[in-house]
Structure 1
Amino acid sequence: MHKVLLADDEPSITESMKNTIPWSNYDMEVAHIVSSGHDAYNLIKDNDIDLAILDIRMPGYSGLDISKMIFTNNLKTKVIIVSGYAEFSYAQKAITYDVLGYLLKPVEYEELEILLLRAQRMLSSDDSSDLSADFMNYIEEKNTSMMEAYLKDQGLSSDQYYIASTYGNVASPVSHGISFSIGISQNMYISNKPYIEKDFDGITYAGIGLFPASVSITSLRHAIYECASMCFNSFMNNDTSQDSIVCTSYTNIQKTGIYKSITSANSFNEKDKLIILLNNLKEPKYRSQMNINSTMKLNNLLVSNNQLFPNGQDYYIYNYKQLLHDYSSFDNLIDSLIFHLSNASETIDDDNSFSNTYFLKIMKYINTYYNENLSLKDVAAVVNLNPNYVSQLFKKCSGSTFSHYLTNLRISNAKKLITTTNTSINEIASQTGFNDYFYFLKTFKKFTGKTPSEYRANQD
């Protein structure tokens, strides 16, 4: 069981936490309860404390003082901060010390339990190195010679490779080839012999992508990216009721007439024409030409048009799971695009007290749940405001777009985990909200100029 320390100078709060939270559900037990910062830090320093829930203001050291000392001394204890103070600066400081989350009093136990689930996942993660991380770096960097060398080391010496992908719960390994995770619940498979549907009998609630042809090492990267989209075919069919949906073909709408018409109408800001074309896409003859990859590109093409989507950057889609999370089906996405094209954005209220109140709530939510599958729609629902309004409010109060702030926050925390832990790069991507590993690689390199593996090596 992971040992938990509760530290608060109000005994009623720690007793309530101890007796109300089902700690064993998270493989945890409350080992110590103290009322001062000095006692808390001494226990953390001298005992095997896995998680500390700290009041931000206590006699002796504050929760922030202890968080800083844990971070500076590279102690393993994870920290959750609890405070009666709503100033956003407190939350910012806590995050710089690698704090898991920041909760305001009175603590909502539903929020605390979400953080405990996150802590459990981090504490239980395998700290051994991710053997497939280098291979995925080679894929992203198009280093075919190193890709081939890695596959040979894995016993796959071949002129042609077969690829498959799954999204769901894999109960048992595939009997041939190699597999590696490219995101939460998503796996890629490479073999020197063809995959068939029967190879994936152990998978439940999922999609299965069987790439339709063998590929050479020079075509492997492109095929992997294509195959990664094929296991999300339920999104296109608006059907998640089956245990598994198998996709064996890859389509390219960019070569079709309707896609050319959409790009033309978009370039000339022809809103009414775009609405007609988007409605046409829901017809079977056009839908069959689409896949989740072309759908994502279509969304991003349109929302990048500032004339038609003034707040479009915050509706940009970066990976398939985000698309699935935000819209659940192809038809829902098309309906959302049509709605935004048809309706003007709300204008932001000039009442500063109103804006500041909601902005603080929004920032607290983002900084607590940044590593979940978080979207502008989720944040807007929490404060019961229109997403367009929230997008404007965020830009006005922070000077940054929602999507850029969220990405920067995730990268900042990924950098800390890379330099202060031995956790695998793949696990760090998941822990910081990047549920697509290849997107994480691209984004990390864009922000730092290095791959995660290079960044870690340079800290030694």
Structure 2
Amino acid sequence: MYKVLLVDDEILVREAISKKIEWNELGYELVGDCENGKDAIEFVKSHPVDVVLTDICMPYIDGMGLSKYLSENCPQTAIIIFSGYSDFEYAKQAIQYKVSEYILKPVTAKELSEVLIRIREKLDSKRKEEKKIDQLTKVYHSYTKNEAVIISRILSRLVKGTQEVKRSLDELKEFDIEISGSSYRTVVIDIDVYSGLYEINPEQKKESALMAFVVENISSEIISEYNAGIAFRDADNRVCLLLWTNRPQEFRKEIVEICKDIQKNVYSAMQLSISMGMGCYVDSLEELSKSYESASEVLQYRYTKGSGIMFDCEEEKQKENPMELEMDYRDIAIAIRGGDREVLDDAMEHMRSWLKTGYINRRKSIAYLQHVLQIVYEVGRETQESFVLPDSALTSITEARNLDQAMEITKEYALSGLKAVQEACQTSGERQAAQAMEYIKDNYGNPDLSLNSVCEYLNISTSRFSTIFKEETGKTFLEVLTSVRMEKAKQMLQKTTMKNYEIAEKVGFSDPHYFGIAFKKATGMSPKEYAKGRKS
């Protein structure tokens, strides 16, 4: 039975929940109820509970304050909040305090029972996992005191080449271990759930040691079946296989089968995904460090290619083509400058594909993505001097667990650059369109006024200007110029006695006949008819 504490400032609510929920049938025992968070905190200090069911709005200490206390002091306690508040800020705080369920009032007995069933299933699973870890811990503590640890240290020094081979072999003989063959190979096994973590906290380190212990035991059993070598753990809680044979040709196929069996059995036993780096073949124990280093190196491809894979350094690898990457860099810069989301998406996806299909390790991948950030920064500054990337940009890519995460982070920053350029261009476009209108109004009388002369004045390409001008005014340059000239001509026809050819010349038409045609097209009347109609 899991113990439950009910917290609500309304006694009727507490009584209703207490009576309507079939606690025992659901696997719970209601051990107490409190009317505010302050009383609840005092209660759990002396009566630990598994679940706290609480309202938000209460005197003294509210539900959020209680949740904060529980998350900091009783992290194993599941928290269920039921509240009439759907405000996003409450939901955010609930996530921050690791609240298990957030239910909006009114809530029925059936709904609350369903939530309690979900919580019980999670608690059952957690209890089962804790029991399994406790059992492993006991075995592990026994293991750390025995000869297996000493053997692992000797083998680790042997494959890393940090100790003379003869000395290592002599030390191993004391444990009745003899290594002799005509071909040797090392395999490095890493548990994927702990891989790529920028930092491992003490709890994760303990868990990884226990899991590595299980992987080592499974590996040892399988290797002994093949009579092919020995398994041990290195200082980083990775499991290493030292394999040897006097039958090199058969050995190659056998190693693949050994690795597949280990992967299959580890997943079957612990639902753990593992990746393997298979080092190069060497002919002597003195060369083992080459095999170990190549195994460790090839395992880094997991960052780009994904987990649960066997990486063989003997496989022919596709060579990097830096020209493809340069094209992606160029396209990303073009996309950001042009404010083109589609081009940016295509360039980033091509880069992702290139990194995944090539044999590129974590260090290089991060360097390539950080260069993208440099491009984003430089292009962003071209249009917005105030544009900056946060200080955390580079480190967030470094701390990403795999390429997919790093790519998503990089893309978000690239989009921020693109949006900054779009905003700057929009502001710039408004300004350029306004400047063009002023220029037209000041120079409409010049018969040589043209699209080219305006663009030369604004220092912008005709195609770019035409697009901006149409977006801002809704008209083409020629439509606006003609409209301004016709309006000026109307004013002159109304207020002066100037001849048509004189007015035509004043508004920028060198040909009076063409002026007449343009005027009639714009107003439906000839200049003479318009003047007569306005003056009569």
TM range (shorter): 0.3 to 0.5
**Which of the pair is proportionally richer in helix?**
2
**Whose Rg is larger?**
2
TM-score, normalisation: structure 1: 0.44
Structure with the greater relative contact order (CA < 8 A, sep ≥ 6): 1 or 2? 1
